[in-house]
Structure 1
Amino acid sequence: MTSAQTIVAELKTRARALGFESFGIAAADARPDLPEKLRAALDAGWHGDMDWMETTADRRGSPRAMWPAARSVIVLGINYGPEADPLALLDQPDRGIISVYARNRDYHEIIKGKLKELAGLLARRAGAQVKVFVDTAPLMEKPLAEAAGLGWQGKHTVLVSRDFGSWLFLGAILTDADLPADKPHAESCGSCTRCLDICPTNAFPAPFQLDSRRCLAYLTVEHKGPIPLEFRAPMGNRIYGCDDCLAVCPWNKFASVSREARLQARSELDGPALADLVRLDDAGFRTLFAGSPIKRIGLQRFLRNVLIAIGNSGDVSLLPLVEARLGDSADVVRGAAIWALRRLDADRAGALRPAALAGEQDDAVAAEWTGELA
């Protein structure tokens, strides 16, 4: 066994001890096709308001463009597969659906410390330079994970693993050390189109392509303004992210196997009541979502999502809570509250409209009252 192979064997052992369940290595230049694919997606506008994807495109296309000294990338995965089918909550419209990944502590915090420890071991053993990444820098982890043999990018563009289905948190270590690369994983979706067929907003222009502007995961998390009208009813009770395309993947049957390293979801984030969520103030929001990735979208966007879900619930008992948000200081919250009110009780909305319009200063919010949305 060469010294590089010995180091890799030691890294794999330590990675397992740290809770990583997938480990693979790719050459830093293993995906020369990425710049062209990224450019095509950006030119099509599929990144929506995520302008940082455009501004970092030159570096994002290749690890060596970001760090010329890079020679190898170690990609690691942690299984976060849920214990129960997350789609079951779609039948409980009075409860909010939070994406499975966000029911845990922020995965950036979970993984980064582990990656730093493993990278430190590599630096000591190989005398190498290292950099760690957890979805916070212009590194395309999913195609690199495919190149490193962890799985393949499915038709829903998410990494699919034979062992863990569509439920893997990914992290990467970039290094100037030349390490033996693993074989890339062949695409294994076959003729299955379940992930494409279930999408409530038709966000996939074609297999293996995602238009973020139509994706509920993007709209409920990254999008800052009002939810576009055509996507409000399809949102249902999804208030943070959307797991539909992940949850129907047939390979998930392997992810359901119990493992000690499984990440445990916080029970209070497993279908919380919309009635409780719409009452949150800033302090309550920060307390409930302390250590959660949800906190970064802020109270206003979160309430926007909750109010859309209430509008879809058909539950008229929530009307007083909706009306309480009609005077909210945030335009995006008032607008969503108006839409919810009109959905639940059009007559009541009509009665409140004249006085509300007389005092409304925001044109977009006023359009919610009149139904003259662009």
Structure 2
Amino acid sequence: MAEARRLGFAAIGFAAAQDDPVRSARLREWLDAGYHGTMGWMEDRAEVRQGPQSMWPEARSVIALGMSYAPEVDPLDDREAKISVYAQGRDYHDVVKKALKALARWLVAEVPGTELKVFVDTAPVMEKPLGQMAGLGWQGKHTNLVSREHGSWLFLGCIYCTLEFAPDSPHDDRCGSCNACQVACPTEAFPAPYKLDARRCISYLTIEHAGPIPHEFREAMGSRIYGCDDCLAVCPWNKFADTAARHMAFAARPELVAPRLADLLALDDAGFRALFSGSPIKRIGRNRFVRNCLIAAGNSADTGLSEQVGGLRGDPDPVVAEAAAWAFARLSVS
């Protein structure tokens, strides 16, 4: 515990590595409903996602860990262009994995012969239900993990290992009758509590979805250009989240807290890569990002952007060009 906290983890718990048939059935139901959209990788290795031992039969325990990225400012504040809190600092994949590997090396030194594997969001691992099993928090009605100490602001990582740790008690669900996250969703992406239709989720649409944004969601996207924090930000448990527990790597870069659309729309590929070096935003590429910015421009009613938006109607990327045509038409009637 002490070593994990020294490495920057704000939460740690232990769970048995056995597969959970209930969790597996819920995943299958979600996939069968098509809620994963174009995220084919969710279905391609669904059998491995059933639990730790489906991936690695030798696993005996799971060490579940969380790093805080609690924001200093309200994610719901109005801004010209909104980037999700989690992407305003350094790429969590790099930060969390580095700390997991350091903890793994320490554990092997303490108990020679231990075998282990580390994961952070890049393998078929169900970090959120494992976090609940390990007592870090519970999966809320918005499907993300909620912690009594850290609210909705935890990056999760897991270590599978051959050691037998005494498991912590699974965390109780403390959502109660609250439905704030369900009501807050701009695109009505929750068909029911604890179920997310990713195809309607702004985070999915701006990050995972590669084609044109469906017209039915464009106005609801507002100024959100990368991700969406609404369902997380309204959770009442966030009042207990302590920004002092936030890992220093996730302090927001000032230029990403309230960026200007005009600057972002001007990005070419080289400019995009330079601006988002070390950021998770870099992985979606310039074209998808500018597409998102054009939707925000079309929603802005800022006619000062018309000339710049109009110029992008000739962009070599057809998805960017289509978004520019839509945004230009919107601004022309503003």
Q: Does 1:219 align with 2:208?
A: no
Q: Does 1:189 align with 2:178?
A: no
Aligned to 2:82: 97
Letter in 1 for 2:270: A
1:83 aligned to which of 49, 68, 72: 72
Per-residue CA deviation, residues 188-211 of structure 1 (Å, 9 max, x unaligned), is: 011110000000000001000000
Q: CA deviation at 1:221?
A: 0.1
Structure 1 unpaired stretches of 5+: 1-11, 348-374
Aligned to 1:289: 276
Aligned to 2:187: 201
Q: Does 1:180 align with 2:166?
A: yes
2:169 aligned counterpart, secondary structure: coil
Query: Contact 1:220–1:241 (CA<8 Å) still a contact in 2?
Result: yes
Per-residue CA deviation, residues 280-303 of structure 1 (Å, 9 max, x unaligned), is: 111110010000000100000001
Q: CA deviation at 1:32?
A: 3.0
Q: Does 1:145 align with 2:134?
A: no
Query: Contact 2:82–2:224 (CA<8 Å) still a contact in 1?
Result: yes
Q: CA deviation at 1:271?
A: 1.5
Q: CA deviation at 1:177?
A: 1.2
What is the correspondence of 1:104-119 to structure 2 with a 5 Å cutoff? 104-119=89-104
Aligned to 2:52: 63
1:114 aligned counterpart, secondary structure: helix
Per-residue CA deviation, residues 85-110 of structure 1 (Å, 9 max, x unaligned), is: 01102xx3xx2100000001100001
Q: Does 1:320 align with 2:310?
A: no
Aligned to 1:166: 152
Letter in 2 for 1:103: Q
Aligned to 2:109: 124
Partners of 2:237 and 2:19 in 1: CA distance: 25
Partners of 2:149 and 2:214 in 1: CA distance: 37
Structure 2 unpaired stretches of 5+: none
What is the number of residues matched between the two proteins?
332
Letter in 2 for 1:314: A
Q: 1:216 to 1:260 in 2, by over 3 A?
A: closer
Letter in 2 for 1:119: A
Query: Contact 2:19–2:52 (CA<8 Å) still a contact in 1?
Result: no
Aligned to 2:267: 280
Aligned to 2:286: 299
Q: CA deviation at 1:346?
A: 4.6
Per-residue CA deviation, residues 33-87 of structure 1 (Å, 9 max, x unaligned), is: 1211110000000000000011010001111011111110000001101001011
Larger RCO, structures 1/2 (Cα 8 Å, 6+ apart):
2
Q: CA deviation at 1:324?
A: 1.1
Query: Contact 1:31–1:147 (CA<8 Å) still a contact in 2?
Result: no
Q: Does 1:28 align with 2:14?
A: no
Q: CA deviation at 1:254?
A: 1.4
Letter in 2 for 1:321: Q
Letter in 1 for 2:288: R
Query: Contact 1:83–1:256 (CA<8 Å) still a contact in 2?
Result: no
Q: Considering only CA atoms, is the larger Rg found in Structure 1 or Structure 2?
A: 1
Q: CA deviation at 1:257?
A: 4.2
Partners of 1:151 and 1:31 in 2: CA distance: 18
1:35 aligned counterpart, secondary structure: helix
Partners of 1:295 and 1:115 in 2: CA distance: 23
Partners of 1:225 and 1:324 in 2: CA distance: 20
Partners of 2:49 and 2:121 in 1: CA distance: 12
Bigger shift: residues 241-250 or 263-272:
263-272
Letter in 1 for 2:276: F
Q: CA deviation at 1:255?
A: 1.2
Q: Does 1:16 align with 2:1?
A: no
1:78 aligned counterpart, secondary structure: strand
Letter in 2 for 1:64: Q
Partners of 1:230 and 1:252 in 2: CA distance: 31
Provide the TM-score with structure 2 as the length reference: 0.97
Aligned to 1:47: 36
What is the root-mean-square deviation of aligned Cα atoms in Å?
A: 1.2
Letter in 2 for 1:108: H
Partners of 1:31 and 1:271 in 2: CA distance: 43
Aligned to 1:265: 252
Per-residue CA deviation, residues 212-263 of structure 1 (Å, 9 max, x unaligned), is: 0000000000000000000000000000000000000111111144347453
1:33 aligned counterpart, secondary structure: helix
Query: Contact 1:25–1:179 (CA<8 Å) still a contact in 2?
Result: yes
Letter in 2 for 1:97: K
Partners of 1:76 and 1:156 in 2: CA distance: 20
Q: Which runs of 4+ in 1 moved over 4 A?
A: none
Query: Contact 1:30–1:147 (CA<8 Å) still a contact in 2?
Result: no
